Amino acid sequence: MSSSASPASTCHNCNTDAPGNFCSACGQATTLHVPSAREFLHEFVAHYVALEGKLWRTLALLLFRPGALTNEYITGRRVRYVEPLRVYLTFSILFFAILKFGDFEFLQVHNGVQVQESAHVSPAAPENRPSQMQIRILGQTPTLPHQWQDFQQLPAAGKQKLIRESFFHYAPYAMFCLMPLFGLYLKILYLGSGRRYGEHFLFALHTNAFAFVTMALMTLIPIDFVRLMLGAWLLAYLPWAMWRVYPSGKFATLCRWALLITAYGLTMSVAIISCIATGVMLHH
């Protein structure tokens, strides 16, 4: 990187002739210098955190006007808001970070499924033995019974730690991979609406980003009344957003909403259980 303050005649990035202040081929500035700490901070704030207006406009619509952010994007008003994928990734990472590093009780397990951290479960105890159903399921794969027995022999604290680590290692990826499926459910529910799949996927990103923000606030704020209000808003948000983005009767919207949360709730439960099971089995 050159320390000169005068424009270069050749772009340092692509070696194209660039007599002006910016390269016509790649867009890089031709006036280069070693950036100061203040410039680094400004670049971070402006381009990554987007605090120069974009973030606040995005949050205002996302949190308080269900479906409005999706409608803005569909109608072409996009530059003024943070990109949908960045919105989703930012708030999902924030939510899982709060869960992971916060001082919260999480996934208490007993007998290989749920235990208190302070409890001690003896490996030889009858209740630690897998049920006949578990034996039938695990017996389909030769290596699983051994891995399950190894997990059963761990102390309560070891089980708790392994389940927690498995959840935080795989769950964020699983939740992201469920977004296309969320969009597919919407596509099926609104067949004949003329909506493209990309619009459904966009709606999935925005509504799930809102859910992550709300759940993060519910986790951080230790006031029952505030948590109750946030929970009620979380419950009401999705059908309201569906009604705004997919104009139809309120009763039809509520029916589609019930089907959507049932299908997605079951899918998400399976995904989270699979994440934990994968982590447990791969531990050994």
User: How far is it, in rounded angstroms, from Cα 205 to Cα 74?
Assistant: 13
Cβ within 8 Å of residue 142, ≥6 positions away: none
- Residue 28 DSSP symbol: -
| Burial of 115: CB neighbours in 10 Å, binned 0-12, 13-18, 19+ | buried
**111: which residues sit within 8 A by CB, 6+ positions away?**
121, 127, 128
Phi, psi of 197 (to 5 degrees): -60, -35
pLDDT given for residue 49 in this prediction: 55
Q: How far apart are CA 6 and CA 21, in angstroms?
A: 9
* Paired residues of 10 in beta bridges: 17
Task: Supply the pLDDT for residue 135.
Answer: 46
Q: State which amino acid sits at residue 224.
A: D
| pLDDT computed for residue 104 by the predictor | 57
Domain residue spans of the chain: 1-34, 54-105+165-282
Task: Dig out the tokens for 55 from the structure.
Answer: 């973030």
Which of 160, 125, 133 minimizes the C-alpha distance to 280? 160
**pLDDT number for residue 218:** 92
Average confidence (pLDDT) per 10 residues, the chain, 284 residues: 53 79 79 70 61 80 95 91 92 89 56 40 43 48 57 68 77 90 96 92 96 93 93 96 92 96 94 79 64
Give the model's pLDDT for residue 148. Answer: 59
Kindly report each contact of residues 180-188 with a partner whose C-beta sits within 8 Å and lies 24 or more positions away, as own/partner.
180/204, 181/264, 181/267, 182/208, 182/264, 185/259, 185/260, 185/263, 185/264, 186/260
| pLDDT number for residue 233 | 96
Helix H or strand E encompassing 152? helix 144-152
DSSP secondary structure, 202-265, as one string: HHHHHHHHHHHHHHHHHHH---HHHHHHHHHHHHHHHHHHHHHHS---HHHHHHHHHHHHHHHH
Quickly count: other Cβ atoms within 10 Å of residue 90's Cβ.
20
Q: How far apart are CA 17 and CA 139, in angstroms?
A: 68
235-264 b/e (C-beta count within 10 Å ≥ 16 → b):
eebbbbbbbebbeeeeeebeebbeebeebb
pTM over 0.85: no
Cα 281 from Cα 13, distance rounded (Å):
48
pLDDT of residue 128: 47
